[in-house]
Amino acid sequence: MTRLYVVRGRTVLAVLTVAALGLLVYAWDGARMPLLPVVSNPDAVSGPGGGRAVTFHIVTGEFKTRLPDGKEIEAYRWDPGTLVVHKGDRVTLHFHGVNGAKHPFEIRGYNVRGTVEKGKQTTVQFVADRAGTFEIVCLTHPDRAHHGPMVGYLHVLER
């Protein structure tokens, strides 16, 4: 004998609500699924002393739009904007100038500085010897008044 089950609209709505809440809880748990987009380097190679050699490529990006009153606004950014490494890693950052003529930058807390120019690559290297979150700031675009903030984040995790 064939059985026929009837599913009512309220049952479907209840199941979808429970599923949505489950996904929300899963997404909120940063240990399994971070809410911020992060870029870590799965190809990092361990070397002598236990630190990994970690390399990232970062480009300069620009967004422009025109407001209804005709005024043009723009903002610059690093892409990717968030990097994750471990304490002790040997970090190499290759900055590629795509938009904007010149972007002098610093990694606050690491005394790392450089300047990215349009059409050129600038490389900096350092050992991530302190855990924490450090800003990668373009000194030309540090805030909204200067078409920014052009700020990226270097997250250095304890091992």
pLDDT digits (tens, 9 = 90+) for 140-159: 988 878 777 889 999 999 98
Q: Which amino acid is at 18?
A: V
**SS3 of residue 33 by DSSP:** coil
What pLDDT score was predicted for residue 21?
A: 44
**Does residue 117 lie within any of the structural domains?**
yes
What pLDDT score was predicted for residue 103?
A: 92
pLDDT of 135 above 90 = yes
Full-model pTM: 0.68
CB proximity list for 80: less than 8 A, separation 6 or greater = 37, 39, 56, 58, 152
**Does residue 32 lie within any of the structural domains?**
no
**Does residue 3 lie within any of the structural domains?**
no
pLDDT of 58 above 90 = yes
Structural domain including 65 reads 39-157
**Does residue 12 lie within any of the structural domains?**
no
CATH code for position 138: 2.60.40.420
Tokens of 124: 């900096």
**Does residue 18 lie within any of the structural domains?**
no
**Does residue 141 lie within any of the structural domains?**
yes
Measured distance CA(79)–CA(60) in Å, rounded: 6
pLDDT-based confidence at residue 106 (cuts at 50, 70, 90): very high
Residue whose structure tokens are 């089950």: 5
Measured distance CA(1)–CA(58) in Å, rounded: 65
pLDDT-based confidence at residue 73 (cuts at 50, 70, 90): confident
Average model confidence (pLDDT) across the chain:
79
pLDDT of 110 above 60 = yes
State how many domains the chain has: 1
Residue whose structure tokens are 């900096």: 124
Measured distance CA(46)–CA(67) in Å, rounded: 49
